[in-house]
Amino acid sequence: MLASVLHTVIIYAVVIFAMRLMGKRQLGELQPSELVTTFMISNVASICIDEPDLPLLSSLVPILLIAALEILNSTAAYYLPGYAALLFGRPVTVIQDGQIRQDALRHLRMTPGDLMEALRGKDVFDPRDVSYAVVETNGSLSVALRPEKEPATLADLGARVQRAQATIPFVLDGQVLAENLTTCGKDAAWLERTAQANSLLLEEILILAGNDTEDYFLLKKEPRQTAGLRQGGAA
């Protein structure tokens, strides 16, 4: 029994290592080759777990080999554009200047219903509002609206706004993200003052986020389901 548990734990660790080795692209929208790789690794891992009598090395080698092949494949695609086009395909324009390209839909074997559903996912309900729509190599739809259909921005309205960085986390579950502090021109002393101003220790902070201004967002850890929320400037 103990050997079976240990076998499973080792395979789990190797699968996690293999997925991390292949990069973050594996965790997002997958290319066909990446999807195949993920399925194969999961199937091999499940077989290895279901058959604890298999030698451990015989279980690990196929997983690492599949990961190595994917790394080799993606590296070749990076350096050889022609190979990448063969492997992943090319983006296909399905709408141009409000006109649906029916030949492109036939080429992709994409029904009008599929196209309309994808447009609705982008909050577009009328194809005539679209200047340019492309089906990417991972199957997602990218849409550019006609200029007159684009939402108005502050620049369009001539409004002047104070420039500030986006709000990013400084502390997550008691762990300090030092690089984010430096990016916003803050340091450990500022962090300590902020915690003291809220009568907290760093390990009692669930989320502390801010930017290059003195404004911040702080959420205290609570043993109950109700969360204590504080917001304001540093003392």
Per-residue pLDDT of 27-71, as tens digits, reads 445 666 777 787 888 888 887 777 777 777 777 888 888 888 888
Greatest CA separation for the chain:
71
E strands of 70-129, at which residues?
92-96, 99-100
Domain over 92-149 is classified CATH 3.40.50.300: no
Per-residue pLDDT of 4-38, as tens digits, reads 677 777 777 877 777 666 665 544 456 667 777 87
**Total Cβ atoms within 10 A of residue 173:** 10
Choices 1.10.3470, 1.10.4030, 3.30.240, 2.30.30: CATH for 168-233: 3.30.240
**Residues 92-127 as b or e (16 or more Cβ within 10 Å = b):** bebbeeeebeeebbeebebeeeebeebbeeeebeeb
8 A C-beta contact, residue 40 and residue 66? yes
The pair of structure tokens assigned to 199 is 């009568």
User: What pLDDT was estimated at residue 229?
Assistant: 47
What is the spatial distance between Cα 111 and Cα 116, in angstroms, rounded to a whole number? 9
Residues of the chain with CATH 3.30.240.20: 92-149
The label of the residue with tokens 């450990």 reads 188
8 A C-beta contact, residue 132 and residue 122? no
| 8-state DSSP, 116 | H
Helix or strand run (H / E) with residue 168: strand 168-172
Per-residue pLDDT of 95-153, as tens digits, reads 999 999 999 999 999 999 999 999 999 999 999 999 999 998 878 899 999 988 888 77
**Total H helices, total E strands in the chain:** 8, 9
What is the spatial distance between Cα 27 and Cα 6, in angstroms, rounded to a whole number? 26
